[in-house]
Amino acid sequence: METQNKFQKRNKIIYWIFTLWMSLGMISTAIVQLIKNKDELANFTNLGYPSYLMTIIGIWKILGVIVILIPKFPLLKEWAYAGFFFVMSGAVVSHIIVNDAFSNTFPAVLLLVLVIISWYFRPADRKISFSD
């Protein structure tokens, strides 16, 4: 029982470290996208995306972070994680397709890894329960 408690405590610490890091990354990139930073705009156009997509993704990122950080709403959390996974994996693939430098691809890879780790280590009260 004591080992299980240590395991749960360790997992909770891992979850919060990676979730807060992921949230900071998502919020900071959302802000850069919403203010249409010129470097980010150049990055988007280099990937072949229209500039208005920056606003859509920026808003989704902020909403996703809110949902993941607040208690309850496990179904919405799953949707937020799925959205983050789709956006970040899409960004990684897009960078690869245009043969972008690793220095440009790495932030998307890092955020994708943070999303996966946060999702994997989320506590039971932040998961969908299928029990009756």
Indicate the pTM of the whole model: 0.91
Q: Kindly state whether residue 72 falls inside one of the protein's structural domains.
A: yes
Residue 129, both tokens? 């329960």
In a domain? residue 2? no
Q: Provide the token pair at 48.
A: 């072949």
Domain hosting residue 119, numbered range:
8-126
CA distance 20 to 22: 5
Inside any domain, residue 131: no
Under 8 Å between Cβ of 115 and 85: yes
pLDDT 10s digits, 32-76: 999 999 999 999 999 999 999 999 999 999 999 999 999 999 999
Number of independent structural domains in the chain: 1
Q: What pLDDT digit, counting tens, does each position of 66-85 carry?
A: 999 999 999 999 999 999 99
